[in-house]
Amino acid sequence: MNDDPPPHSQAHPHPLSADRLDRYARHIVLPEIGGAGQAALARSHVMLVGLGGIGAPALQYLAGAGIGQLTLVDDDKVSASNLQRQTIYTVRDIGHGKAVSARRWLANFDDRLGVTIHDTRITADNVGAMVSGADLVLDGTDNFATRLAVSDACTTARVPLLSAAVGRFQGQVGAFAGHLPDQPCYRCFVGDAFDAEDCDTCAEDGVLGAMVGWVGTFAAMQAVRILVSGTGGMGDSGWGKLHLMDGLKPGMRTLNIAKDPACRGCGAISV
């Protein structure tokens, strides 16, 4: 995706039938979205990496927004401890794969949306094929190795990335488009000098369920912002902006991330 309207917004039949127009009426009456924006959402393909605390509420609101094609990626299974914050699962899902359970939730919510699932762990070798064809990737995983593999694949495929993380009462959501001139990728933000597997986990540190919901739904809102940007939309896409969320204060502040010319993820990408 670049600064021009995305290809899916040009010269295609209108994707919304009369019943779909009724379903999204509250979006369509918003001048910032309107019929053109809702059609853009219906033609969009979003890949969700991680279907846990962030991915679960993000999926609910992306599906509710009418994203036409969703790719769901997670190799984990549902456990009882997930139910405190991972809002698409029930006790019946315990022991079942998250990707399969998420697809079942989606089918019950709206069987008109396209869905592809991957229940294998993301690696640097397989992520490129998964990212290919997406208009946007939303990563809510909990380890640097996966996040960096996703970031590098997005940069190579020229696909924008929303990266979201949460722990205890703190969260962050950043928008990255390292394939664009002067825009950073996620690797510009975190660098390379750490143990790629070393992330704090909810099991060790705890997390407020509602805090995870705030981060996931905010990430979904940012996804909508990006996907409707070609139609006028909700303002600029916010590339390079990192939103830091504090659930105890409560409050939010925004930082600007600079592109690293020496970044091995995006520094050599040609315009």
Residue 202 a catalytic site member:
yes
Three-state DSSP at 47 gives: strand
Residues in Cβ contact with 192 at an 8 Å cutoff, skipping those fewer than 6 apart: 264
| Cα atoms in the 13 Å half-sphere on the side-chain side of 235 | 4
Q: Which of 154, 188, 202, 263 is catalytic?
A: 202
What pLDDT is attached to residue 194? 61
| 31 upstream amide cis, omega within 30 of 0 | no
Residue ranges for the chain with pLDDT beneath 70 = 1-14, 193-204, 270-271
pTM, two decimal places: 0.90
What pLDDT is attached to residue 203? 61
What pLDDT is attached to residue 101? 98
> How far apart are the C-alpha atoms of 83 and 80, rounded to whole Å?
6
Q: Please give the backbone phi and psi of residue 227, each rounded to the nearest 5 degrees, phi first.
A: -75, -25
pLDDT tens digits, 208-245: 999 999 999 999 999 999 999 999 889 999 999 999 99
What pLDDT is attached to residue 174? 98
